[in-house]
Amino acid sequence: MARRRSNIQKPAMSASLRAYLLIHLHTFFASLGRFSRTPFNFMMTVSVIAITLSLPSGLLVSINNLQSVSGQIDLNNNISVFLNQSVTLQRATELSALLQHDNKVSQAILIDKQAALEEFRQYSGFGSAISALGDNPLPHVIQITPIARIDNQANLALLVTELKKRPDIHLVQMDMGWLDRLNGILNIAQRGVSIITILLGFAVLLIVSNTIRLELQSRRDEIDITRLVGATRSFIMRPFLYSGFWYGFFGGIFACLLVNLSVWLIDEPTSSLASLYNSSFNLNYMPFAHAALWVGFSISLGVIGSWIVVSRYLSELES
Amino acid sequence: MLQFINVSKRYPGGADALKNVSFELQNGEMAFLTGHSGAGKSTLLKLIAILERSTQGQVMLDNQNIGRISKRNVPYARRKIGMIFQNHRLLYDHTVFDNVSLPLIIAGLDRHEIKRRVRAALDKVGLLGKEQRYPITLSGGEQQRIGIARAVVNRPPMILADEPTGNLDPELSEEIMHLFEQFNQVGVTVLIASHDVSLIQRIGYRTLRLSQGKMVDNHG
């Protein structure tokens, strides 16, 4: 009898390892096969997960898009220097040349008040109103483009202070304030998305747990029988963990598809809006790396949710 | 092979299911366990299958105190026992082959070995050629044979049967008992719980009789 038993329990190492991997592979696809027999139930759960996860991932894509908008503006942040009304064109030209030599300035362009008025007359549609004004109300303006190196706030601020100290200058305007505010809002939004991600992550965990719990109940007999013929805990858990895996996997994939579908739907009206601002802006789709992270996140939730329920269930059964 | 030493089992709530039960089954022995319902047969079998733990005393299987075995090792101890049930406990949405191969898949044997042993087990119980059938398409007697094939496919040193002929007519019952005798003849220890006294007397093996949780008869 001893000889017989050793036959069972000690197969050659490589053979037993291969058999072990085969069991894994078999369960892996068997759990997928089980879904194919109840596709409606499977798709319901997957859809709930996908919709739940598409909210935080979609918000994140929106934020990334807004950030890229503000990033584009960043690249051409010009400083408008309005000179005093009393400054002559000659003085303005000298000043412009002087600023051009500042090592923080890449380009300084003088827009003289006469040219500015002409341009305004042409484009604003107030042509006759402007003609009615005797004097030119516009000052000379020097448009400064800081060199690319000075993209950090401190250097930019230094340049602005230096400009403000000059006697001829009336107003230094840098349209950065609203950009800071936008970035501030985006930071808050990002924090908000993190919170939503955590909450909805829990929701997905509960969805998977509940689905697996129902699956456990419907396969109660099967579990009892496999236990009776000597199945280990991990053997019984395995198919359920793989179920959780597949729920998470497909839920994550469909969430990413939903988000990208939404981007695709919004992209066209967005670029036609952008073209009104002379911009060729296009919405960004979810980057592949992000999609992979979301799917990974979803899979982890599926496996963990399943593990919690099954291990609780088995602990109650064990004597 | 199997030894009960002063075993008592009290369920939460106070009922004594087994009181100070002692007996021993030798390697390769075959015996019946009888008694009225409620006498403690099921509890005794559950202790051997480690579905319950004894409150007092020791249950020794193959020189191992299975009452004290860790949860992690329970599955491995169970693999030494082939269990057969009155209601068969088959997986009805799986084929005969899948049902019988289950213990081998759990034990991690490779595919060819599984195929070979399942065919051998089905051959022994007379179901060869019905591997791809579903249990529900077979008769009650045949379903019980699937259960028996599953119990022996792993070649356990001991077979435990709980009312294996409970739902079968006398003729089929005798056939099933004959199967157990055949396994016993190749050295497997067999313990059969049954209340079919006339059948037991006709076959004539050692009989353990329980009454109100006590072992009242322990002889052949």
pLDDT digits (tens, 9 = 90+) for B132-181: 999 999 998 899 999 999 999 999 999 999 998 887 888 888 888 999 99
| Percentages of chain B per state (helix, strand, coil), in multiples of 5 | 35, 25, 35
Q: What is the pLDDT of residue A148?
A: 62
How many whole angstroms separate alpha carbon B162 and alpha carbon B182?
A: 18
Q: Do A20 and B106 touch (CB under 8 A)?
A: no
Question: What is the β-pairing status of strands B214-217 and B206-211?
Answer: antiparallel
Same domain, B172 and B196: yes
Read off φ and ψ for residue B59, nearest 5 degrees.
Answer: -110, 110
| pLDDT value of residue A252 | 97
CB contact under 8 A, A15 and B103: no
Stronger pLDDT, A274 or B95, i.e. the higher one: B95
Interface of B with A (CB under 8 A): 27-28, 49-53, 71-72, 74-76, 78-80, 83, 89-91, 102-103, 105-111, 113, 150, 154-155, 157, 187
Residue A94: pLDDT band (50, 70, 90) is confident
Split into its structural domains, chain B has a count of 2
* Confidence (pLDDT) at A169: 84
Query: Is the domain of B73 the same as that of B160?
Result: yes
Name the residue with higher pLDDT: B126 or A128: B126
**B177: closest CA of chain A, how far (Å):** 21
Report the pLDDT averaged over residues B177-206: 90
- CB A225 to CB B109 under 8 A? no
CA distance B42 to chain A (A): 15
Residues of A with Cβ-Cβ distance to B78 under 8 angstroms: 227-230
If you measure CA to CA, which chain B residue comes closest to A238? B106
* Of B129, B155, B181, the domain-final residue: B155
Task: List chain A residues with CB under 8 Å of B89.
Answer: 221, 224-225, 228
* Claim to verify: residue B98 and residue B41 sit in the same structural domain: no
Instruction: Collect all residues of chain A within an 8 Å Cβ-Cβ radius of residue B157.
Output: 1, 4-5
Contact at 8 Å (CB) between A16 and B108? Answer: yes
Cα distances from A3 to residues A191, B156, B183, in angstroms, run 65, 11, 16
Q: Give chain A as a DSSP string.
A: -HHHHHHHH---HHHHHHHHHHHHHHHHHHHHHHHHHSHHHHHHHHHHHHHHHHHHHHHHHHHHHHHHHHHHHHHT--EEEEEPTT--HHHHHHHHHHHHTSTTEEEEEEE-HHHHHHHHHHHHS-HHHHHH-SS--PPPEEEEEE-TTTTSHHHHHHHHHHHHHSTTEEEEEETTHHHHHHHHHHHHHHHHHHHHHHHHHHHHHHHHHHHHHHHHHHTHHHHHHHHHTT--HHHHHHHHHHHHHHHHHHHHHHHHHHHHHHHHHHHHHHHHHHHHTT----PPPPPHHHHHHHHHHHHHHHHHHHHHHHHHHHHHH--
Decide if pLDDT at B115 tops 80: yes
What pLDDT is attached to residue A108? Answer: 84
Q: Where are the domains of chain A?
A: 24-72+180-318, 79-175
Which domain, by its residues, includes B52? 2-80+156-219
pLDDT one-digit tens code per residue, A160-201: 888 888 888 888 877 666 677 777 888 899 899 999 999 999
User: Is the confidence at residue A150, as pLDDT, over 60?
Assistant: no
Select the more confidently predicted residue: A10 or B182. Answer: B182
pLDDT top residue among A99 and A130 = A99
Q: Determine the topology of domain A79-175 in CATH.
A: Alpha-Beta Plaits (3.30.70)
What angle separates helix A288-317 from helix A233-276, to the nearest 10 degrees? 150
Tell me the pLDDT of chain B averaged across its residues: 90
Work out the minimum CA distance from A239 to partner chain B, whole angstroms.
Answer: 13
Q: Is the pLDDT of residue A120 over 80?
A: no
Q: What is the CATH number of the domain that holds B66?
A: 3.40.50.300
Identity (one letter) of the amino acid at B199? L
B74 and B101, same domain (yes or no): no
B108 and B144 share one domain: yes
Q: Is the pTM of this model over 0.80?
A: no
Structure tokens at B184: 């016993």
Contact A8 B89 (CB under 8 A): no
Residues of A with CB under 8 A from a CB of B: 1, 4-5, 7-9, 11, 15-16, 18-20, 22-23, 221-222, 224-233, 235, 318-319
Looking at the fold, whether B143 and B180 belong to one and the same domain comes out as: no
Q: How confident is the model at residue B127 (pLDDT cuts 50, 70, 90)?
A: very high
Phi, psi at residue B88, to the nearest 5°? 65, -40
- The mean-pLDDT minimum among A182-186, B16-20, B90-94 falls in A182-186
What is the mean pLDDT of the segment spanning B45-49?
92
What is the reported pLDDT for A73?
61
**Sole residue written with tokens 């157990």:** B180
pLDDT score at A116? 81
Residue A204 has what pLDDT?
96
More confident residue, A53 or B38: A53
Helix (H) or strand (E) holding B30: strand B30-34
**Does residue B142 form part of some domain?**
yes
What is the SS3 assignment for B108? coil
Whether the CA torsion A307, A313, A315, B1 is positive or negative: it is negative
Q: Look at residue B181 in the predicted model and tell me its pLDDT.
A: 93
Does B88 fall in a domain?
no
- Is there a contact between B155 and A4 if contact means CB atoms under 8 Å apart? yes
- Is residue A231 very low, low, confident or very high in pLDDT (cuts 50, 70, 90)? very high
Over 90: is that where the pLDDT of B86 sits?
A: no
Under an 8 A CB cutoff, do B89 and A221 touch? yes
B157, A7: Cβ pair inside 8 Å?
A: no
* The pLDDT of residue A28: 77
Longest CA–CA span in chain A (Å) reads: 119
Q: Which stretches of chain B are DSSP H helices?
A: 41-48, 74-78, 96-107, 111-125, 140-152, 170-185, 197-203
What pLDDT is recorded for position A10? 46
Asked if A8 lies within 8 A of B154 by C-beta distance, the reply is yes
Of B72, B111, B150, the CB nearest to A229: B150
Grade residue A1 by pLDDT with cuts at 50, 70 and 90. Answer: very low
Rounded to a whole number, what is the distance in Å from the CA of B19 to chain A's nearest CA? Answer: 20
pLDDT tens digit sequence for A248-287: 999 999 999 999 999 999 998 988 888 887 777 788 899 9
- A230 CB neighbours in chain B (<8 A) are 75-76, 78-79, 103, 106-107, 154
pLDDT of residue B88: 87
| Mean model confidence pLDDT for chain A | 84
Shortest distance between the Cα of B90 and any Cα of chain A, in A, equals: 8
Residue A75 clears pLDDT 70, i.e. is over it: no
pLDDT of residue A72: 63
From A2-11, A199-208, B201-210, the region with the lowest mean pLDDT: A2-11
CB atoms A8 and B155 under 8 Å: yes
The pLDDT assigned to A4 comes to 43
Query: In the sheet where B214-217 sits, what is the strand order?
Result: B81-84, B158-162, B189-193, B30-34, B206-211, B214-217
The H or E element spanning position B55 is: none
Which of B51, B74, B106 has its CB closest to that of A229? B106
Q: In terms of domains, do B67 and B102 share one?
A: no
Residue A7: CB atoms within 10 A of its CB come to 13
Percent of chain B exceeding pLDDT 70 equals 99
List B83's β-bridge partners, or say none.
B160
In this predicted structure, the answer to whether residue A6 has a pLDDT above a threshold of 50 is no
Which of A139-153, B57-71, B96-110 is least confident?
A139-153
Instruction: Answer whether A11 sits within 8 Å of B110, measured CB to CB.
Output: yes
Q: Are residues B166 and B122 in the same domain?
A: no
Nearest to B157 among A1, A16, A231 (CB): A1
Residues B37 and B143 in one domain: no
CB atoms A233 and B75 under 8 Å: yes
Instruction: Give bridge partners of residue A105 from the DSSP assignment.
Output: A146
The pLDDT, as a whole number, for residue A122 is: 76
- Give B205's contacts (C-beta < 8 A, 6+ positions apart): B30, B31, B32, B220
Contact state of B89 with A224 under an 8 Å Cβ cutoff: yes
Measured in angstroms, the CA of B112 and the nearest CA of chain A are apart by: 11
Measured in residues, chain B has a length of 220
pLDDT tops 70 at residue A74: no
Q: CB–CB of A1 and B27 under 8 A? A: yes
Nearest CA-CA distance, residue B110 and chain A, Å: 5
In chain A, pLDDT over 90 holds for what percent of residues?
Answer: 38
DSSP label at residue B94? S
Q: Search chain A and give the residue with CA nearest B75.
A: A230
Residues on chain A touching B83 (C-beta within 8 angstroms): 228-229
Examine residue B166 and state whether it is found in any structural domain, yes or no.
yes
* Token pair listed for B152: 């022996």
**Residue A301 distance to chain B (closest CA, Å):** 26
| Whole-angstrom distance, CA of residue B201 vs CA of residue A14 | 50
Are residues B76 and B162 both part of a single domain? yes
